[in-house]
Amino acid sequence: MIINFTVNGKSVSMDVMPQKRLLDFIREDLLLTGTKEGCAEGECGACTVILNKKAVHSCLTMTGQLDGGELMTVEGLEKDGELDVLQKMFIKKSAVQCGFCTSGMLMSAKALLMENPHPTQEEIKRAIAGNICRCGGYREIKEAVASAAEMEKEE
């Protein structure tokens, strides 16, 4: 099946296996390996990407569902060689330990800030409730997201 979509702002037309998991398509066909596989059943959030401006699990999505859509992966955060403010704040606040949950966390946080640039603590907590960090750095992660929102406000 030929599908048309954009990935990180670039238009693409590709012949795909529509029932393949979007997660596998992203990693194996688009060769974007920043998106991770954890549980493969919607529990851990490691595979989170932004599809049509919403955070979704790429492990529970079929590639065909991308047709006509807009996909953003963690690789799309960086613009012209400069990291997104969220990425900068994750580094600054030490919100990355082993890093396995990080791309999923970043995408959940990005989807939140796209819809709601000035979230409350509660809204940040809710947005990342489906992202599990085995290293347990939730406090730093929430601080990083709050600081990124603050920085955007100042700019």
Partner 1 sequence: MNSNYIQPRTRQELSQALGQMTENSRIIAGGTDLMASDHGRDSSTDLYISLFCLGDMAEIYREDGWVRIGAGAVHDAIEKNPIIQENFRALSMACSKVGSQQIRNKGTIGGNLVNASPAGDMLPCVCLFLGEVEILRADDTTYRMPARDFILGAGKTALKPKEALYAVWLPIQEGRSSTFVKLGSRKEVTIAQISMAVSWEKGEYFQKIEGYLGAVDTRPIYLEEMNHILSGRAVGREEREELVSSLRERIRVIRENRKRPPKLKITEAEQLYKERAVRSVVYDAIDQMEGES
CA distance 45 to 39: 8
Candidate list 43, 67, 78, 82; residue touching ligand FAD; CB under 6 A? 43
**Who contacts 13 (Cβ-Cβ below 8 Å, separation ≥6)?**
2, 3, 4
Residue 21 lies near partner 1 (rule: CB under 8 A): yes
CA distance 139 to 152: 20
The CA-atom distances, in angstroms, between 85 and each of 91, 105, 107, 149, 155 are: 10, 14, 13, 9, 11
CA distance 124 to 139: 11
* Closer Cβ to partner 1, 48 or 147, answer by number: 48
What does 17 interact with, of ligand FES, ligand FAD, partner 1, none (CB < 5 to 8 A by kind)? partner 1
Residue 59 lies near partner 1 (rule: CB under 8 A): yes
Candidate list 1, 9, 33, 42; residue touching ligand FAD; CB under 6 A? 42
Q: Which residues bind ligand FES (CB under 6 A)?
A: 37-40, 42-47, 57, 59, 96-102, 133-135, 137
Q: Which residues bind ligand FAD (CB under 6 A)?
A: 41-43
